[in-house]
Chains A and B, each alone.
Chain A
Amino acid sequence: MQLRYVYSELGQGLRRNLSMHLAVILTLFVSLTLVGMGVLFQQQATKAAEQWGNQLQITVFLCRNGDSNPVCPSSVTDAQKTDIEAVVRDNPEVADYHFESSETALDKAKELYGEELFSGDNPAITAEDMPQTIWITLEDPEQFEGITSAVQGLDGVSRVQDMRKVIAPILGALSMLQWVALVTAAVLVFAALLLVANTIRLAAFARRKEIGIMRLVGASTLYIALPFLLEALVTAIIGVVLAGGALAAVQQFGIEGRGDDTLKFIPWIGWDEFGLALLAVGVLGPLLTLLPTLVLTRKYLKV
């Protein structure tokens, strides 16, 4: 097959329908970016759920000096701690537990908020201000009411916190973002399909004379359709590269650069998950342009 003709047709076709190709590329770019974002959000949600799902813990905050809770007249005593531990140990819902001292809690706080707040002659917060805690890992994450109510009323217990209450809104927000991205992407993907279809119709019209002659002299359908398919592939590749760049920017500046620093307690996605999003975009992009091209060239270029 003489590819020289095909390449010259490809160049001509790209120039002839430049504005349409640009429209296709931009629509592809935005819709593929959103698809990629959807994948990233989904990965982030999975990762967060994995982390918090496995370590689904209930945290029992024990009374401290100056506790805001009126049931705590003073810091928890050792006797109270022994009693609480006995209840936790004997509860069938509990798989594992450990104490965390005020000092450990302070260290964790330092890590999250920075050293400055806690150092100097008159630090804003000292170990005294941090509550002692018991971290309870459950046998079954769904079975938590028994242990919660058993511990709740004990002397020396300030409050019981179920981590899920903290995490649920984060997971909810992630899932909502994921759906918003995917639904918007679906609408734009549809627009991209229509644009591709229009571009092919225009291109087939612009080349109707050549195509008519090619058919008459016995050019194969593939030979006639090849410039169209290559055009579709070129626009798809440009769209994928742009979308990949945008996603990489989100990953680099949005997650690696920022989210990681400010929202440390969330396990953030890394470049592995980015690779997965890129793969989705890389497969979807060419499919979005090649499939309608194949279908429509069969229709418009029928021998």
Chain B
Amino acid sequence: MIRFEKVTKTYPGHPHPALDNISVDVEKGEFVFLVGSSGSGKSTFLRLVLREYRPTTGRVYVAGKEINRLASWKVPRLRRDIGTVFQDFRLLPNKTVTENVAFTLQVIGKSRKEIKDVVPETLELVGLTGKGDRMPDELSGGEQQRVAVARAFVNRPMILIADEPTGNLDPTTSVGIMKLLDRINRTGTTVVMATHDSSIVDQMRKRVIELENGHVVRDQAQGVYGHQV
């Protein structure tokens, strides 16, 4: 589903590459944690998957497409196969919960009827039934993140990318979000999650890829956050 082949990414003006000759293979339906300190290359990894950047050398394949060669005008179509969740939720403050979730479908041109059917379904899946008319600032952080997950998943993407989704949440709320991501993963969606949250990684026992200075220093099935095995 996601494949990095000897990928190096160097940003202009930086002597050291953000990612240095890494090769990673993520299968369809996998749940992968991406761990490592700040500046280790996690965000660059995710941005390459989203084709916000192209690799400097090497090849990146996402959902069967080689993104190096993907024409700019085809990028939006690629991103419709990828849902994205961020630490800071990134909801539109002047739209209701329903509108925020529907926004994804609107901008990719889904019919009004389809939106009407799918949005409540997705809100139910993330546990926000009955809160569709609330504004984001009337919700707790955990609820806002659920809205963001609903928005990322409403289009039933093949891949869900989560960049520190629990970074702004307390541990109990974080567990709720992780259960949600796990449920989404069980529907067959590949989930790649960058995180600093060791307790979550340790609990979930999923594959862990650790980055350090742009290198993969560990790739472990059912791993934990730290180096202890």
Contacts and interface: CB of A to CB of B under 8 A. Distances in A.
B107 A219 contact: yes
A212 B92 contact: no
B76 interface: yes
A1 interface: yes
Contacts of A209: 90, 92
B103 A213 contact: yes
Contact of B72 (A2, A210, A303): A303
Contact residue range for chain B?
A: 20 to 34
B32 to A, nearest CB: 20
B104 interface: yes
Given A2-B109, A303-B72, A218 B92 contact: no
B107 A5 contact: yes
A187 interface: no
B185 interface: no
B139 interface: no
A47 interface: no
A221 B108 CA distance: 11
Interface in A198-217: 209-210, 212-217
A262 interface: no
B151 interface: yes
B108 A216 contact: no
A216 B92 contact: no
Contacts of A4: 106
B106 A5 contact: yes
Interface string B58-102: 000000000000001101111110101000001010000000000
Interface string A1-14: 11011000000000
Nearest to B148: A213
Nearest to B109: A1
B148 to A, nearest CB: 10
A221 B79 CA distance: 12
A91 interface: no
A179 interface: no
Nearest to B81: A218
Nearest to A5: B106
A218 B73 contact: no
B122 interface: no
A217 B108 contact: yes
Given A210-B92, A303-B72, A303-B75, A216 B84 contact: yes
Given A209-B90, A209-B92, A303-B72, A217 B80 contact: yes
B106 A213 contact: no
Contact residue range for chain A?
A: 10 to 19
Interface string A287-303: 00000000000000011
A228 to B, nearest CB: 15
Nearest to A216: B84
A218 B159 CA distance: 13
Interface in B35-78: 50, 72-73, 75-78
Contact of B73 (A2, A210, A221): A221
Nearest to B93: A209
A220 interface: yes
Contacts of B151: 217
Interface in A207-242: 209-210, 212-221, 223
A217 B154 CA distance: 10
B195 interface: no
B107 A223 contact: yes
A223 B110 CA distance: 13
Contacts of A212: 90
B144 interface: no
14 contacts: A1-B109, A4-B106, A213-B90, A216-B84, A217-B79, A217-B104, A217-B108, A218-B78, A218-B108, A219-B107, A221-B73, A223-B107, A303-B75, A303-B76
Interface of B: 50, 72-73, 75-80, 82, 84, 90, 92, 103-104, 106-110, 112, 151, 155
